[in-house]
Amino acid sequence: MLTGKTGNLGVMGWPIAHSLSPAMQNAALVKAGIDYVYTALPVEPVHLAAAVAGLRALRFRGWNVTIPHKQAMIDLLDEIDEDAQIIGAVNTVVQENGRLMGFNTDVAGFLAGLAGAGFSLAQKRVVLLGAGGAARAVLWGLIKSGASRVAIGVRHPEKAEMLRQAFAPKASTLGTELAVYHWEEERFQAELAQTALLVNTTPLGMAPRTEAAPPIDWEQVHPEAFVYDIIYTPRQTRFLREAAAHGHPTRNGEDMLVGQGAVAFRLWFGQDPDRALMKETLRAQLTAQK
């Protein structure tokens, strides 16, 4: 029951009605016995600064941030953590005594999916598909977790080259080689043949265009490669179906979504939520949407 003491959280985006975060987070709040409510916050880009000022004044404990506000949010905060600074995007805000602190929990969410599968990145070769906003968080997770080499395969190498250059200093310091290829060139096929992990960060295959997929020649992929698609709707994309048909272990984006939300919950309250309940709630919402 909502009372005059109920605290406030939310997820900010435009549009935002499709978000599954309110269901997940409210289920976790009820289970933890925390008197807060988490709501969707539709904010047009032109009103972003006013919205953030309003949430500060209303003493929201915090909020998540999604498209298209992840980059613009940075300039409206008092402080950001290292992951958000390196990636150039904020997806979680925490308010402490009137100060707004920004974090990026997408990295932890992505790594949670690998941890759940028992996959270690240390000294592994990786092929990363895509060079957009999601790829930035995934690439930083790969670098900080000790991947030996990351080959970025894309349709437009010039965009991926900008990504490579942005992360090159950190990658060099931490011992990760970075390379960029058009995903149809011969050298890219050689990368597929040696990779231990193949990750899709593109929107190809996401609902409603579920029959799209990155142009991977599965005969070229290392037979023991682990295949990870950060898309969670549908649960099994064409990319994952093809991988499974060729005998590869696979993972979808459910654990990443739950993982980033669980880390945000911990930042707000200093305790871990029930991740199993959050995942169960997510799946129930996805089923209801169908």
Q: What gap in Å lies between CA 1 and CA 67, rounded to an integer?
A: 31
Is 230 annotated in some ligand binding site?
yes
Q: What gap in Å lies between CA 135 and CA 199, rounded to an integer?
A: 9
284-to-27, 206, 290 alpha-carbon distances in Å:
12, 18, 10
118-248, CATH topology level: Rossmann fold (3.40.50)
Q: Is 159 a catalytic residue?
A: no
**Nearest to 128, CA basis, from 192, 73, 74, 79:** 192
The pLDDT value recorded for residue 76 is 98
Q: What gap in Å lies between CA 49 and CA 204, rounded to an integer?
A: 32
Q: Which residue has the tokens 């597929």?
A: 192
Q: Are 153 and 163 within 8 A, CB to CB? A: no
The pLDDT value recorded for residue 288 is 87
The catalytically annotated residue of 5, 31, 70, 124 is: 70
Is 20 annotated in some ligand binding site?
yes
Q: Element (H or E) spanning 265, and its range?
A: helix 254-269
The pLDDT value recorded for residue 243 is 98
Is 91 annotated in some ligand binding site?
yes
Is 21 annotated in some ligand binding site?
yes
Is 133 annotated in some ligand binding site?
yes
The pLDDT value recorded for residue 114 is 96
Residue-wise pLDDT tens digits, 60-77: 999 999 999 999 999 999
The pLDDT value recorded for residue 74 is 98
The pLDDT value recorded for residue 2 is 87
Is 260 annotated in some ligand binding site?
yes
Q: Are 95 and 126 within 8 A, CB to CB? A: no
Q: What gap in Å lies between CA 235 and CA 215, rounded to an integer?
A: 20
Residue-wise pLDDT tens digits, 253-290: 999 999 999 999 999 999 999 999 999 999 999 888 76
- Residue spans of the domains in the chain: they are 7-104+255-289, 118-248
Q: What gap in Å lies between CA 248 and CA 156, rounded to an integer?
A: 27
How would you classify the pairing of strands 99-103 and 79-80? Answer: parallel
Instruction: Name which CATH class applies to 7-104+255-289.
Output: alpha beta
Beta bridge partners of 95: 100
Whether 7-104+255-289 shares its CATH topology with 118-248 is answered: yes
Q: Which residues of the chain have pLDDT under 70?
A: 290
Is 131 annotated in some ligand binding site?
yes
**3-state SS, residue 227:** strand
